[in-house]
Amino acid sequence: MESKWTEKNIADQEGRTFIVTGANSGLGEVAARALVGAGATVVLACRNTDKADTVARSIGTRAVVAHLDLSDLSSVRKFAASVDSVDVLINNAGVMAIPQAKTVDGFEMQFGTNHLGHFALTGLLLGKLTDRVVTLSSGMHQFGSIDLDDPNFERRKYERWTAYNQSKLANLMFAYELQRRLTAAGSPLKSLAAHPGYAATGLQGKTETFQDRLLAIGNRVLAQSAEMGALPELYAATAPDAPAGRYIGPDGFQGQRGYPTVVGSTKKSKDEEVAAKLWDLSEKLTGVKFAF
């Protein structure tokens, strides 16, 4: 990998199509702009299509808006059915540390949106993909655990950061397990994970507690820009030599900021037994089976 890889290093993407979930703001919006700037057609797959329309108009005609609500599996199925072919899927959307809520299908909102929605979307699009899947995790995965018996907090007390950290660990484990299964099936598709470090986006500030003020200060004082935070997912999505099955994040102090590089992850994230069980559970909960 070149040192100090930036969006200027993105190869010509003319003729290629990307789907970016949650591209109406934050990292997704930055990624969509950069990809269109490199010649790609980008589908902004968003729940809030009004916001996405505004963003798409500012990007140009190669930015296309489609409705996708990851917290509603019927919406995920409808969106996937509307796609003919796509080169790269970027599972970028997410919610963070929100008050307890349930998805349309009854899942805990963070696990349901961040993990299960993207799991189902990837499975439904698998036969239409030509190049790779990039799934966004977070440095917070290191504090996460997968509770296979109660992933949706039906029996244990809900704790917003515990739920977020579980969902981000699930994202990373899914990316790794997807690559293992693609490799086993002899598929040329690649699966990578990425994280933005500490980037200032609209993701922070939804806790509805005093933490929102602390996060707002952190965004101003500590965080890197969304433009920098989007570089790992852009590298993972476009670099011809981006290594399959790896995790891409910033190269700076504790992975909080900097330029994209291959980074490590926790021992838990590499637990293949738990990953396989999480996969089975995700297929059961979503009703989506991957046809490799």
**193, 204, 199, 194: which is closest to 227 by C-alpha?**
199
Q: Are 270 and 176 in contact (CB under 8 A)?
A: yes
Catalytic annotation on 235? Answer: no
Give the whole-angstrom CA distance, residue 101 versus residue 180.
Answer: 33
Q: Are 77 and 124 in contact (CB under 8 A)?
A: yes
| Residue given tokens 């002899």 in the structure block | 186
Give the neighbor-by-neighbor strand order of the sheet with 41-46: 63-67, 41-46, 17-21, 86-91, 129-136, 190-194, 247-250, 260-263
The one catalytic residue in 164, 235, 247, 259 is: 164
Give the whole-angstrom CA distance, residue 28 versus residue 46.
Answer: 10
Active-site residues, by number, are: 164
